[in-house]
């Protein structure tokens, strides 16, 4: 049960308290102090109830306020949503109208374009129809030999083209001959306008002869029996190649191309090479270039490599442009000339002796196998050097340069061959004798240098080094001439820039004390510049760096006294000792000298 002292909020408590008090008075009397306590408790509870009621009223008012705010927010949100919806609807309606207008414009443009295309198609179809009619008229005119025009035009004759007929095929087993025959037949049929396979098969046997005709007759019998069928042009070509085309034609052509070599003239080699190459299908150009150059002779192959040919066509054009120099036939002996001038028979009527053909042929073949191919070291031509037509011209040119003291621009030549070609005429010049000297320029000043193959190094007189202003480094060493006391080496001048003729470069010189010569160029100079002394032609050929420089040689008169022919020089270094020993003989007067040399390290 609930406590009777608890009071339910919102109900009246006064009657209940009075009733309870009357009952208690009726039942028994209470203590006044206790009654006061209960009354105080009741008042306290009433105060709490009032406080709760006041708090509830405040909360209710707060809820009412919030509800009003929510109502106002809902109204504002409803208005905003309605405005946004109206705006979106207006925008969508506007875009829809614009799309509708643009779509209608595009549809109208497509309809206009479609109408234009239909008109253009009708016009093209009309032209095609007219062209078909014209083609039919042209075809009829070709068949009848005249052009049939409209009713108002007249008939005009056409110019006929004479088509040459292909050569007959006799049945030879040659791949090139069969390919040429089939190709000429196809070109002939194309010129006549024959496109049907049946007509081609009917016309092709007319150009068969000998063995090929017999083969076709047997094929016709096989066709009648039903054992063979040739209904298309490709079948005819396949059967013809099956019967006559060699199976290993390409292999034989490759083997022939590998064995082919340049023995006769270049033009004959080029012709035979190209004919063999055309028999090989799909032959790479790089391999063809290698095979072509490999079969050439050395001088022709080197010339093609020098010009840098990268393909077969360029190599063939270069090879055909080369000029071959054939060996000149020797003059017959006077006895032979007398015999040729006289009658073929002797005085007694007997015939001259003729060797047997078989023995003579074998002897020539043996000689051809033993002899190597001729090659001239001056011009790389197919002849001996003593028979070179440019040898005498070279001597004449050098003699002209010695007689003319003025410097000529023609001295700047690039090769020995061009130098010889500039000379007109041919004459024999007696070469001068004496020691060979060359003009050498050092720092713009000239010095006369002796070319001595008996000297091991290059030597320069101390006075000339000071005059030319050539610096040199001190180095321990000595120079010993034949039958003389050793002399100390003053030093070594390294990388001295010199010019000899058209050649420019650097040389090393040993600065020494000499009596007769200003400068001596020894074996070191010849090895360094790759020089070829040609004293019979009074010149020296320098081949350094792939170029060719011809340097004229001045021949001096030999001294009546003894002249040093060789030099002995020893250079001593702190770390090691290198000794170059040269032993030789002396030169006396105008006589020549011989030398023997040894070198030890």
Mean pLDDT of 439-464: 87
Matching residue, tokens 């007067």: 589
| Spatial separation of the C-alpha atoms in residues 250 and 278, rounded to whole Å | 10
Give the Cα separation of 553 and 536 in Å (integer).
10
Report yes or no on whether pTM surpasses 0.85. Answer: no
- Cα 227 from chain centroid? 56
The 10 Å Cβ neighbour count of residue 254 is 18
Looking at residue 157, what is its pLDDT?
A: 47
Q: How far is CA 338 from the centre of its chain?
A: 63
What are the structure tokens assigned to 188, written together? 């002939």
What is the distance of C-alpha 309 from the center of its chain?
11
In this prediction, residues 569-577 reach a mean pLDDT of 47
**378, two tokens:** 């001056």
Closest to 266 measured CA to CA, from 296, 290, 293: 296
- Rg of the Cα atoms in the chain: 61
Phi/psi region, residue 462 (left: phi>0; alpha: psi -120 to 50; beta: rest), is alpha
Would you say the C-alpha torsion 189, 190, 191, 195 has a positive or negative sign? positive
Residue-level pLDDT at 430: 54
Per-residue pLDDT at 34 exceeds 50? yes
Q: What does the alpha-carbon distance between residue 503 and residue 526 come to, in Å, rounded to a whole number?
A: 13
* Average pLDDT of every residue of the chain: 72
Write down the pLDDT at residue 119. 92
What is the tens place of the pLDDT at every residue in 338-382? 444 444 444 444 444 444 444 444 444 444 455 667 777 667 777
H or E stretch covering 446: strand 445-451
Written in H, E and C, the secondary structure of 249-313 is HHHHHHHHHHHCCCCCCHHHHHHHHHHHHHCCCCCCHHHHHHHHHHHCCHHHHHHHHHHCCCCHH
DSSP alpha helix (H) spans, 308-451: 312-321, 334-341, 357-370, 391-403, 416-421
φ/ψ (deg, to 5) at 307: -80, -5
Q: Do the Cβ atoms of 508 and 465 come closer than 8 Å?
A: no
Helix ranges restricted to H, 164-259? 175-192, 197-203, 211-225, 233-244, 249-259
First to last CA, the chain: 142
**Residue range 191-212: mean pLDDT, rounded:** 84
Q: What pLDDT was estimated at residue 124? A: 92
What are 109-164's pLDDT values in tens digits? 999 999 999 999 999 999 999 899 888 888 888 877 644 444 444 444 445 667 78
Question: What is the distance between the alpha carbons of residues 452 and 459, in angstroms, rounded to a whole number?
Answer: 11
Taking the C-alpha atoms of residue 378 and residue 535, their distance in angstroms, rounded to an integer, is 15
Taking a C-beta distance cutoff of 8 angstroms, is the pair 559, 587 a contact?
Answer: no
Q: Quick check: 509 pLDDT over 50?
A: yes
Query: Among the listed ranges 18-27, 66-75, 274-283, 293-302, which one has the minimum average pLDDT value?
Result: 18-27
229-233, 365-369, 399-403, 451-455: segment of lowest average pLDDT: 365-369
């Amino acid at each position: 049960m609930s406590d009777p002292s608890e009071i339910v909020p919102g109900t009246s408590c006064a009657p209940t308290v009075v009733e309870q008090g009357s009952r208690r008075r009726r039942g028994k009397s209470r203590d006044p102090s206790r009654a006061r306590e209960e009354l105080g408790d009741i008042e306290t509870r009433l105060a709490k109830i009032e406080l709760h009621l006041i708090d509830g009223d405040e909360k209710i008012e707060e809820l009412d306020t919030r509800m009003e705010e929510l109502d106002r927010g809902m109204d504002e949100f409803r208005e905003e949503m309605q405005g946004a919806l109206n705006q979106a609807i207006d925008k969508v309606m506007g875009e829809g109208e614009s799309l509708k207008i643009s779509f209608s414009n595009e549809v109208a443009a497509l309809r206009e374009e479609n109408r234009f295309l239909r008109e253009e198609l009708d016009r093209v179809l009309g032209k095609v129809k007219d062209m078909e009619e014209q083609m039919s008229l042209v075809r009829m005119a070709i068949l009848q030999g005249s052009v049939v025009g409209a009713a108002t035009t007249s008939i005009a004759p056409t110019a006929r083209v004479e088509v040459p007929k292909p050569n007959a095929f006799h049945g030879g087993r040659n791949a090139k001959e069969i390919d040429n025959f089939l190709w000429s037949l196809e070109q002939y049929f194309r010129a006549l306008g024959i496109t049907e396979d049946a007509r081609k098969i009917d016309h092709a046997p007319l150009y068969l002869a000998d063995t090929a005709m017999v083969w076709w007759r047997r094929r016709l019998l096989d066709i009648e029996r039903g054992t063979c069928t040739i209904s298309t042009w490709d079948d005819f070509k396949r059967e013809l190649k099956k019967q006559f085309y060699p199976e290993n034609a390409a292999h034989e052509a490759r083997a022939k191309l590998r064995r082919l070599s340049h023995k006769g003239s270049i033009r004959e080699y080029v012709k035979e090479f190209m004919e063999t190459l055309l028999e090989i299908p799909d032959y790479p150009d790089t391999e063809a270039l290698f095979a072509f150059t490999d079969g050439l002779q050395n001088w022709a192959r080197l010339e093609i490599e020098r010009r840098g040919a990268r393909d077969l066509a360029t190599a063939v054009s270069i090879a055909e442009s080369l000029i071959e120099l054939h060996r000149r036939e020797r003059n017959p002996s006077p006895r032979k000339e007398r015999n040729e001038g006289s009658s073929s028979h002797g005085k007694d009527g007997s015939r001259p002796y003729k060797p047997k053909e078989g023995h003579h042929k074998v002897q020539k073949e043996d000689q051809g196998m033993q002899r190597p191919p001729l090659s001239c070291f001056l011009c790389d031509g197919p002849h001996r050097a003593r028979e070179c037509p440019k040898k005498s011209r070279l001597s004449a040119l050098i003699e002209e340069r010695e007689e003319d003291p003025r410097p000529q621009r023609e001295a700047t030549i690039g090769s020995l061959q061009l130098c010889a070609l500039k000379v007109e005429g041919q004459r024999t010049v007696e070469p001068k004798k004496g020691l060979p000297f060359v003009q050498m320029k050092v720092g713009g000043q000239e010095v006369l240098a002796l070319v001595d193959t008996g000297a091991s190094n290059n030597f320069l007189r101390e006075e000339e080094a000071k005059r030319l202003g050539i610096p040199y480094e001190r180095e321990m060493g000595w120079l010993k001439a034949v039958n003389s006391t050793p002399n100390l080496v003053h030093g070594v001048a390294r990388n001295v820039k010199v010019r000899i003729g058209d050649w420019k470069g650097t040389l090393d010189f040993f600065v020494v004390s000499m009596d007769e010569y200003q400068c001596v160029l020894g074996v070191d100079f010849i090895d360094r510049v790759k020089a070829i002394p040609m004293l019979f032609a009074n010149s020296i050929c320098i081949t350094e760096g792939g170029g060719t420089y011809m340097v004229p040689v001045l021949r001096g008169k030999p001294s009546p006294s003894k002249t040093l022919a060789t030099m002995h020089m020893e250079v001593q270094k702190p770390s090691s000792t290198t000794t170059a020993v040269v032993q030789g003989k002396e030169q006396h007067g105008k006589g020549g000298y011989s030398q023997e040399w040894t070198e030890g390290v």
